[in-house]
Structure 1
Amino acid sequence: MIRCVILALPLLFLPALALAQDLTGTYRAEGRNPDGSAYTGSVRIDEDGSAIRVHWTVGASSYDGLGFRDGRVLVVDWGEQDPVVYVVMANGALHGTWADGTALERLIPF
């Protein structure tokens, strides 16, 4: 019985580790535009205190955004009407949608 409790203790701390995970790095972006067309690109995320800077490169276009994080949720204003809202997954990927729900994006760490 004691062995089971000791083995289970590290599992209690996994959600806390995911919340504390630093997002700084380069990601592969895979997304779907509101018209249904697919796109790929790269994304650089830099955390600077409470500010999170995001830079997307998709084809010949680039976009910059400024975000904030609340636990596993990252909201990024990228200059359009609707922000992108991501959920930070335990494996380090970010799964997101435009706030109006018309487009999806997944960021996969390199």
Structure 2
Amino acid sequence: MQDKLKIYLVDDQNIANFITKKVIENTGIECEIVAFEEPKQALEALEEETPHYIFLDLNMPLIDGWEFLESMDDKLSSKVIILTSSVDPADIERAKNYPQVISYQTKPPKKKAIQDLFL
């Protein structure tokens, strides 16, 4: 039996995490979702468990999404979906340098784009 799908949401805005969680829930995908407004707490949680997917914002205070990616253990098997308001082509290109990043999406998340990730 496969483990239940586990997803981390890492965004400093509570409302953004709420919206992403609702969109994921509306896909009907069975999963456990854990939201973090503090990237540092998410990094600490990664020391204890490895979620299947991490939805990661780029523009956050203290630790931004790039620093988060740099701090992630390379051995982690989590797949990262960048979910950001940035449409900067430089950010889109930079994301390609991280093998764990499987998708770059702009906020708000689209139900179809999320379904496509999990199918």
Relative contact order higher in (CA < 8 Å, ≥ 6 apart) = 2
Same fold (TM over 0.5): no
Which one has the largest radius of gyration? 1
Relative to the length of structure 2, the TM-score reads: 0.27
More strand by share: 1
More helix by share: 2
